[in-house]
């Protein structure tokens, strides 16, 4: 049953989309609104939804959420269209001790490298199709985010930048945040193979803005 903590075998050819970012950036909230927007067309067995936290460090495990077409009558783990994966956040100072935090980081990294499948276009379609790297629009791209981007590039994981909490930004702040993310992408892809997709999506997990853009990418893909 879902959410499940056990990754399904890559040989099932079911694509996965992970949501990664600093703690408190809004990963669980975004997945929650994705699941909500998919209802009617998609179903999730059970009622469990991602935990959204007041304190950073709410998500402590790798959680899988499956989506199924409305034509599927019995949803099982091996006939999902794709999975969304909620991950623990990185880079916060308080609330948990150093050891616990390192444990989460290690588990997240081990999980992501085990799902990397850069050959999905030619080989099987399972495993990680894209990591949505969430950046809090109010904070911008930080040192830890850049470390994580570099780490994904080294591990052949394709990712795209998503600016979150755009509802909390004024018009100008918002333009600034989107532009900053755009410049970051250009910088990341300079002289390297482009693991970072050339698109910034602005979202509000709370207001629902941009959620459809994420759905479109998961269902249709990137050019």
Ligand X SMILES: Nc1nc2c(ncn2[C@@H]2O[C@H](COP(=O)(O)OP(=O)(O)OP(=O)(O)O)[C@@H](O)[C@H]2O)c(=O)[nH]1
Asked if omega into 3 is within 30° of 0 (cis), the reply is yes
Q: Contact at 8 Å (CB) between 18 and 82?
A: no
With binding defined as CB under 6 A, does residue 103 bind ligand X?
no
Handedness of CA 210, 155, 184, 59 (dihedral sign): positive
With binding defined as CB under 6 A, does residue 208 bind ligand X?
no
Which residue in 48, 44, 76 sits closest to 61, CA to CA?
48
User: Could you tell me whether strands 15-21 and 82-86 are parallel, antiparallel, or unpaired per DSSP bridges?
Assistant: parallel
Task: Please identify, among the stretches 13-21, 25-33, 93-101, 163-171, the one whose residues bind Mg ion according to the rule CB under 5 A.
Answer: 25-33
Least distance in angstroms from the C-beta of 26 to ligand X: 3
Binding characters for ligand X, 49-78, by CB under 6 A (x = yes): ---xxx-xxxx-------------------
> How many other C-beta atoms lie within 10 A of the C-beta of residue 97?
9
With binding defined as CB under 5 A, does residue 164 bind Mg ion?
no
- Closer CB to ligand X, 25 or 181, in the complex: 25
- Please give the backbone phi and psi of residue 73, each rounded to the nearest 5 degrees, phi first: -90, -35
In the range 47-86, which residues lie near Mg ion by CB under 5 A?
58-59
- Closer CB to Mg ion, 64 or 68, in the complex: 64
With binding defined as CB under 6 A, does residue 25 bind ligand X?
yes
Least distance in angstroms from the C-beta of 99 to ligand X: 17
With binding defined as CB under 6 A, does residue 23 bind ligand X?
yes
Q: Contact at 8 Å (CB) between 27 and 89?
A: yes
How far apart are alpha carbons 85 and 92 in whole angstroms? 20
Task: Please identify, among the stretches 24-32, 40-48, 117-125, 143-151, the one whose residues bind ligand X according to the rule CB under 6 A.
Answer: 24-32
Q: Contact at 8 Å (CB) between 180 and 140?
A: yes
Q: Which one among 17, 18, 19, 28 touches Mg ion, defined by CB under 5 A? A: 28
Task: Point out which residues bind ligand X (CB under 6 A).
Answer: 21, 23-29, 52-54, 56-59, 88-89, 164-165, 167-168, 204-206
């Amino acid at each position: 049953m879902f959410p499940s903590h056990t990754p399904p075998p890559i040989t099932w050819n079911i694509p996965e989309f992970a949501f990664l970012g600093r703690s408190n950036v809004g990963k669980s909230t975004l997945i929650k609104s994705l699941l909500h927007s998919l209802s009617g067309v998609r179903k999730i067995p059970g009622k469990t939804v991602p935990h959204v936290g007041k304190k950073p460090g709410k998500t402590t495990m790798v959680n899988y959420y499956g989506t199924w077409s409305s034509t599927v009558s019995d949803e099982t783990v091996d006939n999902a269209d794709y999975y969304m994966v909620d991950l623990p956040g990185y880079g916060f100072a308080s609330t948990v001790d150093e050891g616990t935090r390192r444990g989460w980081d290690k588990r997240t990294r081990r999980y992501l490298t085990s799902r990397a499948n850069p050959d999905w276009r030619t080989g099987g379609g399972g495993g990680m199709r894209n990591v949505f790297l969430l950046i809090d629009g109010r904070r911008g791209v930080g040192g830890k985010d850049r470390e994580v981007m570099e780490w994904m590039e080294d591990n052949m994981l394709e990712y795209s930048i998503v600016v979150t909490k755009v509802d909390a930004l004024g018009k100008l702040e918002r333009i600034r945040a989107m532009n900053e993310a755009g410049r970051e992408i250009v910088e990341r892809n300079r002289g390297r193979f482009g693991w970072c997709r050339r698109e910034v999506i602005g979202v509000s997990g709370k207001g629902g803005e941009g959620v459809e853009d994420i759905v479109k990418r998961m269902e249709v893909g990137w050019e």
